[in-house]
Structure 1
Amino acid sequence: MEKNLAENSCSFARKGEQANAGGDTSHSPVPDRREGDAEPTDKTEREAHKEDNEDNKADEKSNGKANEKSDEVPGSPLHRLDKISEDIDHLLATLQRNVEANAEEGSSEIPGFVDKFLDLVEKKIARYDSAEGKAKWGEDPKEDSSMLEAVDRVSKLVELLRQLKPASEEESKQKKSSLANLAGEIQQRAMAYLEEEFRTTMEEFRKPSESDPGGKDPKGKHEKQDSGQLPESEATESETGYPEDAISCLNKIAKHMVFGGYQFECCQVYMIVRRQAFEENLHKLEWEKTSIDDIEKMNWESLEREIPSWNRTFRHCASVYLPGERKLSESVFTGHPAISESLFSSLTHGVIIQLLNFAEGVAMTKLGAEKLFKFLDMYETLRDVSPVLNNLFSEEISKEMKSEMTSAKSRLGEAAISIFCELENSIRSDAGKPVPGGAIHPLTRWVVNYLKLSCEYKDALELVFKEHSKIERADSTSRPRHQGESSTHSKNDGDKSEQSPFSAQLTRMMDVLDANLETKARLYRDVALSSIFMMNNGRYILQKIKATEIHQSMGDAWSRKKSSDLRTFHNNYKRETWGKLLQCLNPEGLTNNGKVMKPVLKEKFKNFNAMFEEIHKTQSHWMVVDEQLQSELRVSISGVVIPAYRSFLGRYSQYLDPGRQTEKYIKLQPDDIETYIDDLFDGKNPTSMSRKRT
């Protein structure tokens, strides 16, 4: 019979709709039993109907007309239903004992008040299901509880009549079968009404705009919202999206539908409404399902625009939607953890897998340095949501999801490491020509800024290199050093004697950059200019990483070594340029037997003037970008050249004849030299010294 009832549920609904179309005020999808062709065959049943009709007429006469308040009058249907319910409860207890004892004695005796009870319940359901009675649900909790309790009694009666051992008397057997059919129809009508109320409540009370996905920064990374403690009255609605009274109503209906064996219908309505709500949420978050095949066909520009939406969606799901959905299913199906768990998993598990598939698809695209930060955004999202998801799902689902999450994180992490490997190789093999004037090379700017930006993801990269650095590319001339391997620059001032894997990678890349710059510096014909080039690039690196994560990662020892290298290049420059100039002021060979030799003196002044003018002409075009370094160089040069020239001039200028001879060989005064030194390293094209003098 249960199978037949299930198969006829749709036909019941259609008959109800036809009845409504014909002017019937009933909204029930199940036709009224009294409108069927079959008449009561049992004498007791006919007498019960007769008695009920007489009671109804008496009620109408005493009250003037039938209305909802009549149920509260002693002797009214509700009053009689409450009275007869006590007898039904006693009967149900007896039938339950008989079923459990598998007893035949008394099992076939069904009292006549059962028909009367069923008729009263059917009338009550009809009043709820009538057009004017629709709005009654939820207005009178006492009335609702009475109806639900009556439905539970009918459900219990249906179940016991099916389990009760058949009697030997044919008449009693027929009566029991007829009664079971009657009770089943009433139960189905009640459940159809409850199902519709369940659907209506879920749809009408669901907030039209669920939690805002939160802010986002220009990079698409999720911003943490400052959320204070919610007022107690708003807490439940914030978590589930439904007010407390709606949750209470849904819980009551679900409880009685499950008790009556209509779990499937209840869960189906729940799934349809919540799935639609979730799709609306995804639409608000600007997330569209994308398969791995779709990802493979997308260019990087299009895919890059999808990644911020993916991050927002995943974070929103983990922080708002999934906890709220779990709270809702647990609140509606309280006392049925298996049902709530099944509904929650069915609604959300597939979506999480779709999101993880997107991450894997992105990680499988062709690698490029420009993709690193998008990969790390996604990696951070997976890192942050993993603990939340593991706590939300059952152990079995959580185990599967953890495996999928680990796979996606591994692909993204290995892709990030591969990008670093490729970047290291590209730095090493860069064969770009040296820039004019010894200025900062574009490679230096790009690498330092790239690494500086990567350090904004230091925590993620530390995790990436710690957990995923055991990969080694066949085409890589370098590989990430595994945990435990030492670095030549791993000694810092602090207690740490070994760098982390990511810090070691940074140090290695900076060493590779230095080696490449030294190769480029050797391409300059002028050794002094190569020193200027190395000073420019070295100072740029130190200034850019100052007070940044790069400096903290690489340590003070590395920075001190870099500063020491700069001083070495500085000294090399002074030696190559100004050391040779100062040789012209060397008194060696000027005197013979204590007498100054004028031709030699004249030659020394002549060589000094020519060499200084050539230095000024050449190095005025050289570029020292950092103003502090530029000033340091000028001060350093002046401090060496001017005192030596002043001393030489004061000691030997008297040996030249005053007049034209002095003007010819002593073309520069100490103040002139200082002025000309200030022309150096600004990259301009200054006026020549000869034109300045004229």
Structure 2
Amino acid sequence: MPTKGMRSLFFHSKAPSFSFSSHSSPTRSSISFPTPRHSGSASSNFSETMVDEIMENAAVLIMKWNPESSEFGNLTSLFYESKKEAHQFIKCVNDLQRVMHFLVSDDPTSEKLVHGQSLMQIAMKRLQKEFYQILSMNRAHLDPESVSTRSRSSRTSVRSSSSDDDIIDDGDDVDFAGESISEVEQVSSMAMTDLRSIAECMISSGYAKECVHIYNMIRKSIIDEAMYKLGVERITSSQINKMDREILELKIKSWLNAVKVSMTTLFNGEKILCDTVFAVSRTIRESCFAHIAREAATLLFGFPQLLVAKSKKNYPEENIFRLLDVYTAISECWQEIDSTFSYESTATVRSEALNSLMRLTESVQSMLSDFESNIQKDSSKSPVVAGGGVHPLTLRVMNYLSLLGDYSNMLADLFIDWTPPSKLSLPKSYLNSPNSTDSSVPAISLRMARLILVLVCKLDDRAKQYKDASLSYLFLANNFQHVISKARTSNLQYLLGEEWIAKQEAKVRQFAAKYEQLAWSNVLSSLPEKSSVEISSQEARLIFRNFNFSLEEAYRKQKLNMVPDAKLRDEIMASVTRKLVTVYKEFYDAHRVLVGSMRNVALYVRFTPEDVRHYLSDLY
């Protein structure tokens, strides 16, 4: 470091300012420096003997550790060689400073003042070297993760009552968090204590710029390296737009991990370290933390905005889940972001994170609107599903919505101000409660219900394309049942509500009943309403023959139909079987004997009631 000129020696508790430029010439800082707490003050009277004794003691110790004139001082670390002597060195420098204050007011032209300034410059070079060595050699012990996981009790020496005018005593040690503190934590605590005592001495001596420069240079490199290892790097929108889907997925996964690590350990630990080392000055610690962390944090929280731009150009439906993951990561650590970057100098970090949340909100809302539009425009190659099964559109929409249900808390925030557009608005009977008004229904519940309503309207159109009316009702029953099943087995049940689900279940029962009526009406109508009415043998034979024919015809048709949902299938089977077998058994028991001989019975009565039951059991 170049030889410094004479520094201004008239220090006040609130000193004039000097700029933090990279120039090494001695200029006053813009930061206000406090006066250290020592016995006596700058205005104390010193006898000539006391001045000589203090300067002589300071000269002996300072010159011993002069890295330019002492081979021992050049090769050895003061703070590693002897902590006791290191504390004495700090005390000598502070005593020398007080003597120089006295000489400035007593005899500004004194040669002792010039000698004292020379000693001070040598001492500051020594302390700069020690500061650099401690920071460099303890990178592992002072990494943000180690610092952030330390017990809060280890920071009790950073007194909560300290202000910009306070300096913690040079000899204070950082209190350890309990008796079982690990060796790593102990080394970390000792290093932080040493750094703080050096920083306080250099700041009070007017060498804040040099101290801050060393600290910023080393600590910023640590943060930047950590962010690089976490996969956070500067990237342009054009680069991200050219990324393959697999690579982008890996990028997002790395980013999600980086946010978690950064906010729980990296930035939190760095702020704790800054607050500890520069406890003497709020202005300095804020300035250092901003210089070290602001760029990395801004880069980290700017990534989601690039991701949104990519999603706008390429809208596969699953992209929304990645955006929701990113939104969740920022939202869940927002309190940490707000508190860690609470300074005015780090407001850009908060702004970047907030802008990302806003952009993500807009993008998710837009993607859901596009999804709704795609449902309305769906024109599947097979407009009808064979056998009245579940339509691919129903499968796709409900899979999508059930996955969205996993993000119900985040979606509630994203859609808190959403109101349904007037076009295709929800009917009042679709989603309301007798105990609440529409305004009490969460916006995200209205949003999910609206998407399902758009699907239902599309299903109504598909049902009309079946030529067989019974099949159209079976189609509606199957598809509504799938909607209910996906809602029941996902968080959609909480968004849509039990009453909504109950209403859809009632609709399924109505559709199923209508299907049964149309599909099996010919079979039931082939039997008389009252089996007790007397009929002739010929009439009995005709009724049995018609029943056989209509049952087989209905069976052939229904054999092609399907009911994928086991519960609904069992309910339909039970209902059809109960109705047919009950009516047929009554007629069978009352009129089988009228058919005649065994040969005639086999010819006309082809089914027993139990045969009918087994015959129907393999349908759907």
Task: Supply the RMSD in Å over aligned alpha carbons.
Answer: 3.9
Q: What residue in structure 2 maps to residue 384 of structure 1?
A: 332
Would you say 1:348 and 2:293 are equivalent positions?
yes
1:436-491 CA distances to partner (integer Å, 9 max, x unpaired)? 22222222222222212211111110000015x3798xxx9779x9xxxx964332
1:64-106 CA-to-partner distances (Å, cap 9, x unmatched) read xxxxxxxxxxxxxxxxxxxxxxxxx9997469xxxxxxxxxxx
Quote the residue 1:124 is aligned against: 61
- Opposite residue 572 of structure 1, the aligned amino acid is K
| In 1: Cα distance, 2:254 partner to 2:183 partner | 23
Structure 1 residues 460 and 252, CA, compared in 2 at 3 Å: closer, same or farther?
same
Matched, 1:295 2:237: no
Matched residue type, 2:455? L
Residue 453 of structure 1 corresponds to 403
- Tell me which residue corresponds to 1:370: 318
Partner in structure 2 of residue 500 of structure 1:
442
Of 381, 393, 412, 2:341 maps to 393
* 2:556 pairs with one of 611, 614, 617: 617
Given the superposition, is the C-alpha separation of residues 252 and 446 from structure 1 closer, same or farther in structure 2, using an over 3 Å criterion? Answer: same
* Cα deviation code 1:118-143 (max 9, x no counterpart): 56534422322444452443554443
State the shift of 1:159 in Å. 7.0
Give the counterpart letter for 1:428 in structure 2: Q
Which structure has the higher relative contact order (CA within 8 Å, separation 6+)?
A: 2
**1:90–1:423: structure 2 CA closer, same or farther, 3 Å change rule?**
closer
Q: Secondary structure at the residue paired with 1:585? A: coil
**Does the CA contact (< 8 Å) of 1:210 and 1:281 recur in 2?**
no
* Contact 2:390 2:475 (C-alpha < 8 Å) held by counterparts: yes
Distance 1:655 1:7, change over 3 A: farther
Map of 1:567 onto structure 2? 509
Of 624, 629, 637, the match for 2:568: 629
**How far apart, in 1, do the equivalents of 2:437 and 2:461 lie?**
33
CA–CA separation in structure 1 for the residues paired with 2:42 and 2:608: 127
Query: Structure 1 residues 210 and 147, CA, compared in 2 at 3 Å: closer, same or farther?
Result: closer
SS at match of 1:357: helix
Match of 1:417 in 2: 365
* Aligned residue identity for 1:383: S
Q: What is the aligned counterpart of 2:277 among 328, 332, 336?
A: 332
Contact 1:239 1:327 in 2 (8 A): no
Q: CA deviation at 1:382?
A: 1.7
CA distance in 2, matches of 1:500, 1:91: 67
Tell me what 2:520 maps to: 578
Once the two structures are TM-superposed, the CA of residue 235 in structure 1 deviates from its matched residue by 11
Equivalent-residue separation in structure 2 for 1:281 and 1:145 (angstroms): 33
Q: May I ask how many residue pairs the two structures share in their alignment?
A: 553
Tell me the SS of whatever aligns to 1:137.
helix
Give the whole-Å Cα distance in 2 for the aligned partners of 1:238 and 1:312: 29
- 96, 111, 123: which one aligns with 1:190: 123
Letter of the 1:262 partner, please give it: Y
Shift of 1:544: 2.6
**Cα shift at 1:576:** 0.7
Measured in 2, the distance between the counterparts of 1:323 and 1:91 equals: 38
Partner of 1:244: 189
Equivalent pair of 1:376/1:457 in contact (CA under 8 Å): yes
- Matched with 2:451 is 509
Match of 1:666 in 2: 605
Aligned to 1:545: 487
Q: Is contact 2:406-2:490 (8 Å) kept? A: no
Task: Return the match for 1:203 from 133, 136, 147.
Answer: 136
| Counterpart contact for 1:247–1:331, Cα < 8 Å | yes
2:580 paired residue number: 641
C-alpha distance in 2, partners of 1:335/1:228? 19
2:431 to 474, 490, 496: 490
Aligned counterpart, 1:431: 379
Amino acid at match of 1:207: A
The one-letter amino acid paired with 2:524 is L
Preserved CA contact (<8 Å) 2:389 2:564: yes
After superposition, the Cα gap between the structure-2 partners of 1:229 and 1:553, relative to the gap in structure 1 and judged at 3 Å, is farther
Which has the higher mean CA deviation after the structures are superposed, 367-376 or 336-345?
367-376
Decide which moves more: 327-336 or 359-368.
359-368
- Cα distance in 1 for residues equivalent to 2:428 and 2:186: 54
User: Quick check: 391-400 or 368-377, which moved more?
Assistant: 391-400
- Indicate how the Cα distance of structure 1 residues 640 and 135 shifts in structure 2: closer, same or farther if over 3 A, else same: same
Counterparts in 2 of 1:488 and 1:241: CA distance versus 1, 3 Å: farther
Equivalent pair of 2:460/2:476 in contact (CA under 8 Å): yes
1:519 is matched with 461
Deviation (angstroms), 1:234: 8.8
Whole-Å separation in 2 of the counterparts to 1:338 and 1:91: 24
**How does the TM-score come out when normalised to structure 2?**
0.78
> Is the Cα–Cα contact under 8 Å of residues 492 and 556 in structure 1 kept in the other structure?
no
2:32 corresponding residue in structure 1: none
CA change 1:595–1:605 in 2 (3 A) is closer
The Cα of 1:364 is off from its aligned counterpart by: 1.9
Residues 1:143 and 2:85 aligned together = yes
- Is residue 286 of structure 1 aligned with residue 227 of structure 2? no
* Equivalent pair of 2:290/2:346 in contact (CA under 8 Å): no
Conserved 8 A contact 2:141-2:188: no
User: Which residue does the alignment assign to 1:14?
Assistant: none
Distance in structure 2 (CA, Å) of the matches to 1:147 and 1:652: 120
Q: Distance in 1 between matches of 2:239 and 2:199?
A: 41
What percent identity do the matched residue pairs reach? Answer: 24
| 1:293 Cα deviation from its structure 2 partner | 4.2
Residue 355 of structure 1 aligns to which amino acid in structure 2?
L
Structure 2 residue runs of 5 or longer lacking an equivalent are 8-39, 155-175
Paired letter, 2:481 = R
Q: Does 1:466 align with 2:420?
A: no
Please say if residues 156 and 260 of structure 1, whose CA atoms lie closer than 8 Å, have aligned partners that are also in contact. Answer: no
Q: Provide the C-alpha distance between the structure 1 equivalents of 2:304 and 2:267, rounded to a whole number of angstroms.
A: 19
The amino acid across from 2:433 in the alignment is: N
Matched position secondary structure for 1:243: helix
Paired residues of 1:424 and 1:478 also in contact (CA < 8 A): no
2:464 aligned with 1:531: no
Cα deviation, residue 500, structure 1: 0.2
The residue aligned with 2:392 is 442
CA–CA distance in 1 between the matches of 2:619 and 2:387? Answer: 11
Aligned residue in 1 for 2:218 = 273
Q: 1:470 to 1:568 in 2, by over 3 A?
A: closer
- Deviation of 1:271 after TM superposition, in Å, equals 1.0
Q: Name the stretch that deviates more: 408-417 or 278-287.
A: 278-287
Task: Describe the shift of the 1:241–1:511 C-alpha distance in structure 2 as closer, same or farther (beyond 3 A).
Answer: farther
Counterpart-to-counterpart distance in 1, 2:274 and 2:412: 39
The alpha-carbon distance between structure 1 residues 611 and 194, as it changes in their structure 2 partners (threshold 3 A), is same
Amino acid at match of 1:189: I
SS in 2 for 1:5: coil
Q: Which whole-Å CA distance do the structure 1 matches of 2:129 and 2:303 have between them?
A: 38
Report the Cα distance in structure 1 between the residues aligned to 2:227 and 2:464, rounded to whole angstroms.
58
Distance between the aligned counterparts of 2:288 and 2:249, measured in 1? 34
2:545–2:604 CA contact under 8 A, matched in 1? yes
Q: CA offsets, 1:258-312, max 9 Å, x none?
A: 1222111111111122112213322443333334443333344322221122222
Residue 416 of structure 1: CA displacement?
A: 0.9
Distance 2:525 2:58 in 1: 120
Deviations 1:551-590 (A, max 9, x none): 12111221111111111111111111111211122379x9
Letter in 1 for 2:517: R
Q: 2 CA distance for matches of 1:212 and 1:647?
A: 82
| Deviation at residue 332 of structure 1 after TM alignment | 0.8
